[in-house]
Structure 1
Amino acid sequence: MRTVSGADGTTLAVRTSGPLGSGTTPVLLVHGMGSDHSTWRSTAALLRAAGRPVIASDLRGHGRSEHTTDYGLGTFADDLRAVIDALGVGQVDVIGHSLGAHAALRLAMDHPARVRSLVLEEVPPMPRDDADLAEEITMGAGLGERVRGVAALLRNPLPVLRSDRAVGEAVQRQFAAADPYWWDRLARVRSPALIVSGGSRSFLRPDHLRALAASLPGSDFTTIDIGHSVHRDAGTEFNSAVATFLGIGRS
């Protein structure tokens, strides 16, 4: 692990593999809330085997990155830009899960030239209006998801133990306000995107993710009916979708 300075000087922990200056576009991996870079082990192995440089950062308040008082959704995106700037990388492919996918999408909105392509796994959209708020489209978890989460915690408790409990409250507060302008800004994204839904077993309704995909120019949509943590609970299927989308293994 190495450390770099985030958008406001917050210390961020980053793991890299492969030569970043080789001319091959690196892949930036961004974990979800309560997790860290280690959640991407199988995906990172796939990418390394294909000769792709990999950057895996711990979001602020997670893993070995610094805890802070600013957990703004825009700040997470600014941190991603700071990471690739610090590493001297001009453009990246980004694979993000949940909060990390939301941050990756904001990065693509704000700095479209820096993102070549996006894989957005279970990305929570901002509520558009009172109807979305009433549905609590980004909150909650079913029994099955909670059980799978407990099992994952027992296997590897460190990411949860290291994460700042204040992140969840701060993020939920921001998703509790309608933001139709966020949807308007999707038109700024230039990169092709793959939206991965966890299907009916996820607390994020697939129809909302389909609406997001329809609002993103040049996006694809796929469902792997396993729940919110697709890469964790259906790693083979997830990695296959990633490989196809990124063109890994093609002659």
Structure 2
Amino acid sequence: MKIQAKQVMLNGQLFQYRETGEVSAPPLICLHALSRNAASWDEVAAVLGQKYRVLSLDQRGHGGSARAGLYSFELMCEDLLLFTDALGIEQFTLLGHSMGGTVSYLFAERYPSRIERLIVEDTPPPYLDTKIEIPPEPSEPLTFDWTVVPSILQQLNEPNPKWWEDLPEILAPTLIIGGGATSHVPQDKLREVCDLIPACELVTIEGAGHDVHSSKLEAFLEVVKKFLKFDEAI
């Protein structure tokens, strides 16, 4: 399945994304984790692109997208809104991992009518817990803007309670995929999220860890395809 790298201007800033599948197919947008980029979804897109128009976005500060200097989950949420509007996409399936998963929750809370289905990989919205120490900037060259790290970790340390309070506002059928006991994410938090979203299913892939779609690709795709009714006519 051919993957094309493309660019789009959003609010005066250049963003890069990767596209797979037919333009006429139902849209599915993928959001990556902190320090990753859109290419981290390539193996998933190669399969889902058989029936979907898969669009994997380099979020601000990552990959080929703008080093904006300002970073937050809310800004990334607005980037996604601008991205879908720029491409003329009114309703779509949204798939997010880790940082991208939190952006996905926020978007689905703010714009519930835009989401056809929601899939979140091994992350709850940020919650009050032990403080995360912000590490020093590494000396070696990076493929992303380091400023993203302290910005996002600060939000993890001081989460907005509305991110949890508004989970019942998510109207779309939702799938949360947990990585099991080997993930650093407390799996009971995923259950709490699932219980707050009206139409939500939690599936745990034991032994996958946090990077489920990388470590257990086939199992991940099996769960996602079942949720999307992939083998039925779209």
Instruction: Tell me, yes or no, whether TM beats 0.5.
Output: yes
Structure 1 portions without partners, runs of 5+: 141-159
For 2:29, the equivalent position in structure 1 comes to 28
Q: CA deviation at 1:201?
A: 0.7
In structure 2, what is the Cα distance between the partners aligned to 1:181 and 1:26? 28
1:243 aligns to 2:225 (yes or no): yes
In structure 2, what is the Cα distance between the partners aligned to 1:19 and 1:222? 29
User: Structure 2 counterpart of 1:198, which letter?
Assistant: G
Instruction: Provide runs of 4+ in structure 1 moved above 4 Å.
Output: none
Secondary structure of 1:133's partner?
A: coil
User: Structure 2 counterpart of 1:236, which letter?
Assistant: E
In structure 1, what is the Cα distance between the partners aligned to 2:100 and 2:161? 20
Cα deviations across residues 15-72 of structure 1 (Å, max 9, x unaligned)?
Answer: 223343x2x42110111111111111221011122x2111111001111111112111
Query: Which of 144, 149, 167 is the matching residue for 1:186?
Result: 167
In structure 2, what is the Cα distance between the partners aligned to 1:25 and 1:124? 26
Secondary structure of 1:15's partner?
A: strand
User: Structure 1 counterpart of 2:9, which letter?
Assistant: S
For 1:168, the equivalent position in structure 2 comes to 149
Give the number of the structure whose residues are more often strand, by fraction. 2
In structure 2, what is the Cα distance between the partners aligned to 1:182 and 1:125? 6
For 2:77, the equivalent position in structure 1 comes to 77
For 1:121, the equivalent position in structure 2 comes to 121
In structure 1, what is the Cα distance between the partners aligned to 2:222 and 2:193? 22
Query: Which of 16, 21, 30 is the matching residue for 2:19?
Result: 16
Q: Counterparts of 1:93-242 in structure 2 under 5 Å?
A: 93-127=93-127, 132-134=128-130, 136=131, 161-225=142-206, 226-242=208-224
Query: Percent identity at matched positions?
Result: 29
CA contact (8 A) 2:105 2:125 kept: no
CA contact (8 A) 1:5 1:82 kept: no
User: Structure 1 counterpart of 2:112, which letter?
Assistant: P
CA contact (8 A) 1:203 1:228 kept: yes
In structure 2, what is the Cα distance between the partners aligned to 1:173 and 1:83? 25
CA contact (8 A) 1:125 1:209 kept: no
User: Structure 2 counterpart of 1:5, which letter?
Assistant: M
User: Structure 1 counterpart of 2:189, which letter?
Assistant: H
User: Structure 1 counterpart of 2:106, which letter?
Assistant: R
Q: CA deviation at 1:9?
A: 2.9
Which structure ranks higher in relative contact order (CA pairs < 8 Å, sequence separation ≥ 6)?
A: 1
CA contact (8 A) 2:28 2:93 kept: yes
In structure 2, what is the Cα distance between the partners aligned to 1:178 and 1:26? 30
TM-score, with length taken from structure 1: 0.83
In structure 2, what is the Cα distance between the partners aligned to 1:66 and 1:78? 14
In structure 2, what is the Cα distance between the partners aligned to 1:98 and 1:124? 8
CA contact (8 A) 1:99 1:124 kept: no
Give the number of the structure whose residues are more often helix, by fraction. 1
Q: CA deviation at 1:166?
A: 1.2
User: Structure 2 counterpart of 1:88, which letter?
Assistant: G
Q: CA deviation at 1:178?
A: 4.0
User: Structure 1 counterpart of 2:150, which letter?
Assistant: E
Q: CA RMSD in A?
A: 1.7
For 1:147, the equivalent position in structure 2 comes to none
